[in-house]
Amino acid sequence: QVQLVESGGGLVQPGGSLRLSCAVSGSIFSINAMGWYRQAPGKERELVAGITSRTNYADSVKGRFTISRDNAKNTVYLQMNSLKPEDTAVYYCNARSTYWSAWGQGTQVTVSS
Task: Give yes or no for residue 103 having a pLDDT over 90.
Answer: yes
Q: Using alpha carbons only, how large is the chain's radius of gyration in Å? A: 13
Angstrom distance (rounded) from CA 31 to CA 10: 28
Q: What is the pLDDT of residue 109?
A: 98
DSSP state of 27: S
pLDDT of 34 strictly over 90: yes
- Which residue type does 92 have? Y
pLDDT at 27 exceeding the cut of 90? no
Q: How far is residue 58's CA from residue 35's CA, in Å, rounded to a whole number?
A: 11
pLDDT tens profile 36-92: 999 999 999 999 999 999 999 999 999 999 999 999 999 999 999 999 999 999 999
Query: What pLDDT does 1 receive?
Result: 82
Predicted local distance difference test score (pLDDT) of residue 28? 86
Contact 104, 1 (CB under 8 A): no
**pLDDT of the residue at 10:** 97
Query: Taking residues 85-102, what's their average pLDDT?
Result: 96
